[in-house]
Chain A
Amino acid sequence: MARLIGGLGTSHIPAIGGAIHKGLQQEPYWKPFFDGFPPARRWLDKVKPDVVVIFYNDHGLNFFLDKMPTFAVGAAAEYRNADEGWGIPTLPPFRGDQDLSWHLIESLIDRSFDVTTCQEMMIDHACTLPLKLFWPIGDCPVAIVPVCINTVQFPLPAAARVYALGRAAGEAINSWDSDKRVAVIASGGLSHQLDGERAGFINKEFDTEFLASLVSNPEWATQFSIHELVEKTGTQGIELLMWLAMRASLTAASPTVRMLHSNYYIPISNTATALMVLEAA
């Protein structure tokens, strides 16, 4: 059977793509963010996953409001990045793992998660930037299975539902008839709000508690409604749902996790950024 080795969480911000392209990683504005990544890369270099399942939210590249799935699973051989409106250079296509995609789809639907399946799926900065941050040099060495969770149009899936989805995804990975090593990635958050008079809202206290909960009390955030989470973390801070799905996946691999590394920095753009590496114990 496949082996679920651990999970990573990181923020995503379009401007990170611009910073990578222009080589600004050591500029004072960017350094505290990018300097978080070498320990994560060292861990990945040691454990060498073959495939990653990545929980992310599309920002209007692949999905528009004409059709907005709550949960969508990629099932493509290749995923392309494209212009999202800012002319940030696009990254080369990423390789999919269709065997895991279909095993995941079958397992999730069998567990009553009626996901949308996507044999063609453009992936935006939320999916591509974590891959580029974790594997900055050369071609991405892992195949991917993108899982997109709607954070654009309310109603959004409840935190408890997302947690259950993540756990089901972890069980699916564990039951995959393959000798591959699989990691899960969460892309999003933490607290931030782009829109309205409350733009710039950041809640360090909540973020700190949330990050701590991921280590030892992973269901903690499922006590909150979406409305409460938006209030506590901002309209885009709700992307913490991705982290919940990632962490819930790991419960299928082991009862506890080891937190190997974390970083938290305010602000990049309008965002409280976070990075975490969790190894299935």
Chain B
Amino acid sequence: MNTSRPKIPGTTPFDGVQARKGYALNKMCYSFNSAENRAAFLEDEEAYMRKFGLNAEQAAAIRARNVLALIAAGGNAYYLAKFAGIFGLDMQDIGAQQTGLTKAEFQAKLRAAANG
């Protein structure tokens, strides 16, 4: 996306810059489509990350289960969702984490949008 456009607050469009930066991270997350790969990750996280060549920033964000840090490291929402799925987290859990709300508060915010 053209960087001269005004930034949308709290939003990182997944453009070429992000796609290049996040390739290894997203490729690892894409591999989680397979149950076998999900099990292999859980068995030895560090070895699994090395296999995909994650950089230090990406590996730290994975260890921290921190979605905003994963996005900053080039993660794409669609692939990160597969990572979150390993831990049984749904999109409202992820939304709550990113917005600094409890899940109940995040759900209330969503419901409030119905009135707006």
Contacts and interface: CB of A to CB of B under 8 A. Distances in A.
A28 interface: no
Interface stretch (A174-182, A229-237, A242-250): A229-237
Contact of B116 (A205, A236, A265): A205
Is the contact region of chain B dominated by helix, strand, or loop, or is it mixed? helix
A14 B90 CA distance: 10
Contact of B106 (A59, A200, A203): A200
Contacts of A270: 91-92, 95, 110
Most chain-A CB neighbours within 10 Å: which of B8, B38, B78, B86? B78
B27 A195 contact: no
Contacts of A227: 1-2, 5, 8, 13
Interface residues of B, number: 50
B76 to A, nearest CB: 7
B63 interface: no
B51 interface: no
Contacts, number: 137
A164 B82 CA distance: 33
Is the contact region of chain A dominated by helix, strand, or loop, or is it mixed? loop
Given A87-B35, A155-B1, A200 B77 contact: no
Contact of A195 (B12, B35, B86, B113): B12
Interface stretch (A43-51, A60-68, A141-149): A60-68
Interface stretch (B14-22, B42-50, B52-60): B14-22
Interface of B: 1-2, 5, 8-16, 19, 23, 26-27, 29-30, 32-35, 38, 67-68, 71, 76-82, 85-86, 90-92, 94-95, 98-99, 106-107, 109-111, 113-114, 116
